[in-house]
Structure 1
Amino acid sequence: MDAWKLPTSLCVSGTDYKIRTDFRVVLDILEAMNDPDLFLPDASEEEIALVRSDTMVQILYEDYRTIPPEDFAEACEKALDFIDMGMKDDGKKKPHSMDWQQDAQIIIPAINRVQGCEIRALPYLHWWTFLGAYMEIGDCLFSQVVNIRQKKAKHKKLEKWEKEFLNANKDLITLQKKISVEQKKEMDNLEKWL
């Protein structure tokens, strides 16, 4: 992909397919990828991967139904490349230190500051522009929260102010485990018996 252009389509097996490029669309994809209700409780890893891929393609590509089945894998690869803005991952597993949905309340002000406007009020903002602003977030509440999460994940010692901040803001700093509606019902039923 050309980093100097904002793509509005992806070429799959020589055919250009229009994509939805607003940042909200990609955030919907990322949210769906982490939605435990998207899968059956006993789904295999392969089934989960297939459902995730299919969901991503349906949300991103405007005419996903016209993509031939034999080109589905390439369409997924191109979609992931678009979402990652063409940046290659080093392949090393990194600790989970942020969640788009949970952290929205502290990500939005940081991106607003970078963009110089209220991004939610914009009728359209390309995903790459949004992601570029995200990458330019400097010192702010969000970066402090992520820094503490990363230190905790790597079992590094927190500074005194970080410990105090963590104790005062556990709900903000602790990443919530996503549970399905079915799991929530089971937990609620269990609590009734206690």
Structure 2
Amino acid sequence: MEVWELPTSIVVGGIDYEIRTDFRAILDILKTFNDPDFENDEKWIVCLTILYVDFGNMPPQDYEEAIEKAIEFIDMGIKDDGKKQPHVMDWEQDAPVIIPSVNRVLGKEIRAMQYLHWWTFLGAYMEIGESLFSQILSVRMKKAKGKKLEDWEREFYKENKTLIDLDVKYSEEELEEQKRLNDLLNGKGA
């Protein structure tokens, strides 16, 4: 993938497929991957359907390559070092604090833009400096790694717990089981 250009297509199985590159489409893909109601193979089908404009015309034998290239595009060609990192951010939950930070980096309101390429959005995201979002991430990272918070961080956490604590996402099945167990514990079960 050529990093000096903003790609609008991906070659899979020797065919050049147009892709959806607006940041909102990619965030929809990432939202799907965080949804516990989807099975893993369903997540990939949603990803490919959103990303590749003509996914319906892609032969199934090319899906694996399409997935690899989708990952490469979404990650902007940046290779993962393979080290397990703690989960410290959620695109959907953190949107209210990410958006103002990206707006500041780009100098414009991104939600008002008709189109913003994912790589431009991701580049601006990576350039977020000192901000509410960076403070939230710092506290989350320390907590995830079991590091002691400084006094100001403890105070910040106490005052912003709902912004800092990541929501736990349960599937419909898990929610039903929790309800069943609560009903049993409260004497409402059969």
Partner residue of 1:44?
none
The equivalent position to 2:55 in structure 1, one of 64, 71, 75, is: 64
Q: Give yes or no for the alignment of 1:118 onto 2:109.
A: yes
Partner residue of 1:168?
159
Letter in 2 for 1:98: M
Q: Distance in 2 between matches of 1:10 and 1:77?
A: 11
Alpha-carbon offset, residue 182 of structure 1? 3.5
Q: Give yes or no for the alignment of 1:183 onto 2:178.
A: no
SS of 1:103's equivalent in the other structure is helix
Q: Give yes or no for the alignment of 1:153 onto 2:152.
A: no
Alpha-carbon offset, residue 190 of structure 1? 4.8
Letter in 2 for 1:177: V
Q: Give yes or no for the alignment of 1:107 onto 2:102.
A: no
Give the TM-score normalised by structure 1. 0.91
How many equivalent residue pairs?
185
Q: Summarize the alignment of residues 1-194 of structure 1 with structure 2, pairs less than 5 Å apart.
A: 1-39=1-39, 48=40, 50-188=41-179, 190-191=181-182, 194=186
Give the TM-score normalised by structure 2. 0.93
Alpha-carbon offset, residue 74 of structure 1? 0.3
Give a deviation string over 1:81-127, Cα, whole Å, max 9, x none: 00000000100010111000010010000001011111001010000
> What is the root-mean-square deviation of aligned Cα atoms in Å?
1.3
Q: Distance in 2 between matches of 1:58 and 1:139?
A: 36
SS of 1:150's equivalent in the other structure is helix
| Percent of aligned pairs sharing the same letter | 58
> What runs of 5+ residues in structure 1 fail to find an aligned partner?
40-47
Q: Distance in 1 between matches of 2:118 and 2:143?
A: 30
Q: Distance in 1 between matches of 2:3 and 2:46?
A: 26
Alpha-carbon offset, residue 183 of structure 1? 2.8
Q: Distance in 1 between matches of 2:137 and 2:46?
A: 28
Give a deviation string over 1:107-164, Cα, whole Å, max 9, x none: 0000010111110010100000000000000000000000110011111111100001
Q: Distance in 2 between matches of 1:186 and 1:105?
A: 31
